[in-house]
Structure 1
Amino acid sequence: MRAAVLHEIGQDKLEVLDDVEAVGFGPGRVRIRVRATGLCHSDLSAMSGVLPQPGPFVPGHEGAGEVLEVGEGVTRVKPGDRVVVCWLPACGACPACKRGQTELCLAGFMNAGTPNFRRADSGSDIFGFAGTGTFAEEVVVDAGCAVPIPDDVPFDIAALIGCGVTTGLGAALNTADVEAGSSVAVIGCGGVGVSAIQGARLRGAAEIVAVDPVAARREAALKFGATRAVSPEELADAKQQVTGGEGFDYVFEVVGRSATARTAYETTRRGGTLVVVGAGAMDDHLQLNMFELFFDEKRILPSMYGGGDVLRSYERTVALWRAGRIDLAGLITHRVPLAEVNEALDQMRTGAALRTCIEI
């Protein structure tokens, strides 16, 4: 089959190969024909080495498709079912799951160090990003990673639900629990940031300021519910105009860098809430002094995969989409075939795309 492969961490181009096999099928496993996958900034971060990922590997973790085959013991899905790929499935038995914090379950990471693919000719191993690797025509995953979706949900929409939309919406609805009438700033307005904006709008935030250096993303943010959109250089003025200089009730950092997280902290009012959504590097440290941490009483809330039960979040997103309360189709600003994946990477790097759908 075809798959897009990064041969070495640090390279910026993928090679689309046609001699790749999905491996690991057996009891408790599911083989999926991938139909659509979204390009998430986390894929770029794994390629560059910001996020830890063994190589060579097939990027992609935001996918949807059809079940081709199920292994012994799999009962939740059957061949022909439409599914979304969940890159962080909950085991249901670990301490985090028992506490109801299924987004913190580490069971899904257990397979991240096991190759998902191999070259048919050479037999060399290839990993899948986050234990999946959806930039491929087929993928084999644990049964918990294959989540059934209703027949009326298109594959491209389902793919977005698999990561970006769930993460952004959940940050506003689950982690922050945004209050009606509040003021919100979202720093970083790609697909995840715009989803956080939609979540804040759903909760009735009075002011939602979108912050992004790319003009096209700022314009898009206004269409998804932001009340104003500014460049990073204009954020201080927006803070003054919207909050009288006090700071925003909620600030979402959706970039994953200590510099923007520090800006987000300074933009949050005393007693307000900073939500860290962006996935950053392990050697990038956020510095806070002990006095400000005590004196400002700002809540700092990291948000992992939307900060709530993933399966319930999927169901909620589908319900909101069906009701016309959120716009998911509008997030997909580019569509490309797998053969043009490198062009899609360039669009993501320049900020030209909110989300690119790779049709496989």
Structure 2
Amino acid sequence: MSSTTSPAIVFDPAEGLRSREVSLRAAGPGEVEIEIRAAGVCHSDLHVVTGDWPSDRSLVLGHEAAGVVTATGPGVASLKAGDHVVLSWFAPCRRCRRCVAGMAWLCTGTKAVANTHPDGTTPFTDDQGEPVWPYLGLGAFTRRLVVPEVAAVKVPDELPFGIGALLGCSVTTGVGAVVNTAGVRPGESAVVIGTGGVGLSIVMGLRLVGADPVIAVDLSAERLATARRFGATHTLDGAATDVAAWCQREFGGVEYAFEAIGNPRIIGTLPDMLTSGGAAVLVGMAATGATATFNAFDLADQGKRILGCNYGSSIGELDIPKLARLYLSGHLPLDDLVGRTRPLSEAAAAFDDLRSNTGVRTILEP
């Protein structure tokens, strides 16, 4: 089977983050080869770099990306060379009970979270012929990759690649948290803790469904100003404000509290922000093994709920094309979510952009 080589951004447990040449085998049965045109830099990648999510193997990072199909393997029916696609990192098996029940985001058969293809293999090798593994089954910080057909979602050709990249994770997660996980209705109130890429996408989702008021909380004045542009009606400095007390004083509590950071201490305060019957939605991914503490009596007595949110409770094949159409029709201001564009070689600097808390996304172009 022939292979091609290209530079990739690899995290190695012993050597850290670095650029390496990797070889990519050809697409096999049920697989597609894609030329990456844009990749977003997400906190899920940063969690690996910082050690919050430990890895015992070398990983080609990147899971938020868009590109063009360059080849298809035997049996691929939904895609052809030249199609524009967004990568969906949570590639469902389509066969387990959760998939059959229409909850593919809870698929128990996917191998994506194990950083492999469905058959447990990787399409990447290093210059010594040793396997290098695709982060979340993709490994998008490179020029070309091979993914299972289900992980590539066809989108309109007029969708900009940078916008498509964001649909692969942050936007689908944030808007999905509002529409799918929480089911927020017009006129319902919400607070959003953390206004990074996912938090801003939550704000956009709340604006899309007509929620009011929408309260954004962050430590950065710059990010809060951005949240205003995206539809927040109120903004609070989380360091200077007791958010729970403020929500209770101003509105008698809110109906939804979204946490988009993954901070266990903050997660524990969410129920105190809620009115009776309200729901706390955990969107930010915490470190492995992290725990939070709640007032169990208050949850039961006031009928409050804690909702876990993985990938915005989204099915990539259904939700990504919907979001693409909403963007193209002017209903999602995603251009404002794209900050700096960097070449792939500046991935380390892109992670610094992410740490700087500007809120918008850095896009890498291979």
TM surpasses 0.5 = yes
Partners of 2:125 and 2:183 lie apart in 1 by: 44
TM-score, length basis structure 1: 0.93
What is aligned with 2:8?
A: 3
Residues 95 and 109 of structure 2 are in contact (CA less than 8 Å); yes or no, is this contact kept in structure 1?
A: no
Deviation at 1:205, TM superposition (A): 1.3
What is aligned with 1:21?
A: 23
AA at the equivalent of 1:117 = F
Partners of 1:198 and 1:9 lie apart in 2 by: 40
Paired residue secondary structure (2:275): strand
Deviation at 1:241, TM superposition (A): 6.5
Deviation at 1:312, TM superposition (A): 1.8
Listed one character per residue, the Cα deviations across residues 174-223 of structure 1 (whole Å, up to 9, x for unaligned) are 11111222221100101111010011111111211111112211111010
Deviation at 1:87, TM superposition (A): 0.8
AA at the equivalent of 2:78 = R
Listed one character per residue, the Cα deviations across residues 6-31 of structure 1 (whole Å, up to 9, x for unaligned) are 122794xx2122x2112473111111
Partners of 2:36 and 2:230 lie apart in 1 by: 28
What is aligned with 2:46?
A: 44
Residues 332 and 357 of structure 1 are in contact (CA less than 8 Å); yes or no, is this contact kept in structure 2?
A: yes
Deviation at 1:149, TM superposition (A): 1.1
User: Which of 61, 70, 74 lines up with 1:72 in the alignment?
Assistant: 74
Question: Which deviates more, 236-245 or 51-60?
Answer: 236-245
What is aligned with 2:122?
A: 115
AA at the equivalent of 1:7 = D
User: Which of 239, 250, 259 lines up with 2:256 in the alignment?
Assistant: 250
AA at the equivalent of 1:267 = M
Partners of 2:221 and 2:230 lie apart in 1 by: 15
Residues 184 and 250 of structure 1 are in contact (CA less than 8 Å); yes or no, is this contact kept in structure 2?
A: yes
Listed one character per residue, the Cα deviations across residues 129-176 of structure 1 (whole Å, up to 9, x for unaligned) are 101110011111111111111111111111111111000000011111
What is aligned with 1:156?
A: 162
What is aligned with 2:246?
A: 240
What is aligned with 1:225?
A: 231
User: Which of 141, 147, 169 lines up with 2:153 in the alignment?
Assistant: 147
Deviation at 1:315, TM superposition (A): 2.0
Paired residue secondary structure (2:102): coil
Residues 190 and 211 of structure 2 are in contact (CA less than 8 Å); yes or no, is this contact kept in structure 1?
A: yes
What is aligned with 2:177?
A: 171
What are structure 2's unaligned runs of at least 5 residues?
1-5
Question: Are 1:329 and 2:331 counterparts?
Answer: no
What are structure 1's unaligned runs of at least 5 residues?
none
Cα distance 1:20–1:286, how it changes in 2: closer, same or farther (>3 A)?
same
Question: Are 1:350 and 2:333 counterparts?
Answer: no
Cα distance 1:219–1:308, how it changes in 2: closer, same or farther (>3 A)?
same
Residues 9 and 60 of structure 2 are in contact (CA less than 8 Å); yes or no, is this contact kept in structure 1?
A: yes
Cα distance 1:266–1:242, how it changes in 2: closer, same or farther (>3 A)?
closer
TM-score, length basis structure 2: 0.92
Deviation at 1:237, TM superposition (A): 5.9
Cα distance 1:249–1:60, how it changes in 2: closer, same or farther (>3 A)?
same
Residues 185 and 250 of structure 1 are in contact (CA less than 8 Å); yes or no, is this contact kept in structure 2?
A: yes
Deviation at 1:242, TM superposition (A): 7.4
User: Which of 186, 196, 203 lines up with 1:197 in the alignment?
Assistant: 203
Listed one character per residue, the Cα deviations across residues 213-240 of structure 1 (whole Å, up to 9, x for unaligned) are 1221111101000012111134426853
Listed one character per residue, the Cα deviations across residues 46-85 of structure 1 (whole Å, up to 9, x for unaligned) are 2223235442111110011111111111111111211111
Paired residue secondary structure (1:60): coil
Question: Which deviates more, 333-342 or 285-294?
Answer: 285-294
Partners of 2:191 and 2:293 lie apart in 1 by: 21
Deviation at 1:316, TM superposition (A): 1.7
Paired residue secondary structure (1:233): coil
Count of residue pairs brought into register by the alignment: 356
What is aligned with 1:94?
A: 96
RMSD: 1.9
Listed one character per residue, the Cα deviations across residues 250-302 of structure 1 (whole Å, up to 9, x for unaligned) are 11011112111112222222321111101112321112243233223211111
Paired residue secondary structure (1:244): helix
Question: Which deviates more, 307-316 or 254-263?
Answer: 307-316
Paired residue secondary structure (1:339): helix
Question: Which deviates more, 312-321 or 164-173?
Answer: 312-321
Partners of 2:346 and 2:157 lie apart in 1 by: 28
AA at the equivalent of 2:126 = R
Question: Are 1:341 and 2:341 counterparts?
Answer: no
Question: Are 1:211 and 2:217 counterparts?
Answer: yes
Cα distance 1:343–1:73, how it changes in 2: closer, same or farther (>3 A)?
same
Cα distance 1:288–1:9, how it changes in 2: closer, same or farther (>3 A)?
farther
Paired residue secondary structure (1:169): helix
Residues 277 and 305 of structure 2 are in contact (CA less than 8 Å); yes or no, is this contact kept in structure 1?
A: yes
Identity %: 37
Residues 116 and 132 of structure 1 are in contact (CA less than 8 Å); yes or no, is this contact kept in structure 2?
A: no
Question: Which deviates more, 46-55 or 130-139?
Answer: 46-55
